[in-house]
Amino acid sequence: MSYYIAPSFLDKLAVHITKNFLNLPGIRVPLILGIHGRKGEGKSFQCELVFEKMGIEVTLISGGELESPDAGDPARLIRLRYRETAELIKVRGKMCVLMINDLDAGAGRFDEGTQYTVNTQLVNATLMNIADNPTDVQLPGSYDSNPLCRVPIIVTGNDFSTLYAPLIRDGRMEKFYWEPNRDDKVGIVGGIFAPDGLSQREIDQLVDTFPHQSIDFFSALRSRIYDEQIREFIHQIGFENVSLRVVNSLEGPPAFKKPDFTLSHLIESGKFMVGEQKRVETSHLVDEYNRLNRGKGYQAASPSPSPVAEIPVSKPVVNQSTHLTLETQEQVRQILAQGYKIGIEHVDERRFRTGSWQSCGSLNIDAHSDAISMLESCLTEYSGEYVRLVGVDPQAKRRVVETIIQRPNGK
């Protein structure tokens, strides 16, 4: 099967890899090429096709290998694989690269809730060190004075803004945002359906019917077409006999005739898959469960205007639990809906008389789930103090809401 390689993708990888094997006087060549973009656009698969076309051998590291219960293991793994790849270049006399898939998943920090571990720090520091000294990469506890062959590093990910900023700076990492255009999509989808006899016009129409879907959607669509035959096969032999017939069967693996790959059938199945996507995006059942659980056993407070509020707010809530009442959650939602930012402040009983409030949460919170999480965390940490919710107009730089949501000792 002949798969399509996007010309821009091939050009970027070929130039980066080749440049790292050349001796360019007075030129500092970035060792790392970071390929980032939306999920499911075939970043890793396009890399594999380029490596195959150029005859390049690859040493792979998964983002899941960048964490370990033993501190230092992932950083040592990177150094070890780098040295192994350098040895391959020396022994086999051909281009080799080190590739790390989903680097942001293993070494990135997505929000305040993401744990930043020792291994995460060491992975970032190790990659920075290798990028700065690509021919002098040592293993812990040993030293080899012989210079290594330079090994280009290719990393993939969705959002490199989650990575440690000094790692992705120019000079260490060259960035390439992969977003296939229509011609690229048509070429890639044509390669996916090449064995199925679809004409170029039908490929164009299929891509244009689902213009906002990623590349993996079309690959999953082709796989789904076989579901009907597999379902028929299961019903023929019976559910209780599937295991014996498929695994270690003397009859060999079952054979299936070519399914219906007509354009109308593909579009019908594709629309069903899009409907399933939308159900996932719109269900948000976890939010409903959280609201129900937080609201159990709490008595609603009657609304009362806040002295500095410009939007309706509930009166101060005596909250002896670390869970927020539904009224406070609704108040947070109202503040954010009007484009204001959320802040959280606390004060003990002595300083309450002088109004010496202290911040315990950022004024830059603009997501409802983040605000709820931060409020509950503050209620837990300052359970014996006053805690109040603050709404701030970022444009006018003034407060529009101040309301106490917790008082000490149930007062």
- Looking at 111-214, list the stretches that DSSP marks H as alpha helix, in order from N- to C-terminal side: 118-132, 182-192, 200-209
User: Quick check: 296 pLDDT over 60?
Assistant: no
Structure-block tokens of residue 91: 């022994």
341 Cβ partners below 8 Å, 6+ apart? Answer: 363, 364, 365, 366, 391, 392, 394
* CATH tag, 326-406: 3.30.190.10
Mean predicted confidence (pLDDT) in 166-193 = 93
Please report the pLDDT score of residue 58 as a whole number: 96
User: Quick check: 173 pLDDT over 90?
Assistant: yes
Give the integer Cα–Cα distance in Å for 226 and 23. Answer: 51
| Class at the top of the CATH hierarchy for domain 182-278 | mainly alpha
Give the integer Cα–Cα distance in Å for 303 and 334. Answer: 14
Mean predicted confidence (pLDDT) in 346-375 = 76
User: How many beta carbons lie within 10 A of that of residue 184, not counting itself?
Assistant: 21
User: Quick check: 262 pLDDT over 80?
Assistant: yes
Please report the pLDDT score of residue 168 as a whole number: 92
Mean predicted confidence (pLDDT) in 114-118 = 70
Please report the pLDDT score of residue 279 as a whole number: 83
3-state secondary structure labels for all residues of 85-130: HHHHHHHHCCCEEEEEECHHHHHCCCCCCCCCCHHHHHHHHHHHHH
Q: What share of the chain is helix, strand, coil (3-state, %, to 5)?
A: 50, 15, 35
Please report the pLDDT score of residue 390 as a whole number: 85
User: Quick check: 290 pLDDT over 80?
Assistant: no
- Banded model confidence at residue 293, pLDDT cuts 50, 70, 90: low
Q: Which residue has the higher pLDDT, 306 or 335?
A: 335
Outline where DSSP puts E strands in 301-407: 341-347, 358-365, 386-393, 398-406
User: Quick check: 319 pLDDT over 60?
Assistant: no
User: Which ranges in the chain are annotated with CATH 1.10.8.1070?
Assistant: 182-278
Domain 7-177 falls in which CATH fold? Rossmann fold (3.40.50)
- Banded model confidence at residue 191, pLDDT cuts 50, 70, 90: very high
Please report the pLDDT score of residue 298 as a whole number: 42
Q: Which residue has the higher pLDDT, 213 or 113?
A: 213
Q: Which residue has the higher pLDDT, 195 or 109?
A: 195
Give the integer Cα–Cα distance in Å for 189 and 178. Answer: 16
- Banded model confidence at residue 111, pLDDT cuts 50, 70, 90: low
Please report the pLDDT score of residue 301 as a whole number: 40
User: Which ranges in the chain are annotated with CATH 3.30.190.10?
Assistant: 326-406
Beta-bridged to residue 402, according to DSSP, are 390
Please report the pLDDT score of residue 83 as a whole number: 95
Structure-block tokens of residue 71: 């501190």
User: How many beta carbons lie within 10 A of that of residue 67, not counting itself?
Assistant: 16
- Looking at 21-72, list the stretches that DSSP marks H as alpha helix, in order from N- to C-terminal side: 43-54
Would you give the DSSP letter of residue 314? Answer: B
Q: Which residue has the higher pLDDT, 94 or 281?
A: 94
User: Quick check: 352 pLDDT over 50?
Assistant: yes
User: Quick check: 297 pLDDT over 60?
Assistant: no
Q: What is the pLDDT of residues 51-77, one digit of tens each?
A: 999 999 999 999 989 988 888 899 999
Report the range out of 270-279, 280-289, 313-322 with the highest average pLDDT: 270-279
Residue 39 identity = K
pTM check: above 0.75: no
Mean predicted confidence (pLDDT) in 260-269 = 89
User: Quick check: 203 pLDDT over 90?
Assistant: yes
Q: How does the average pLDDT of the chain come out, rounded?
A: 84
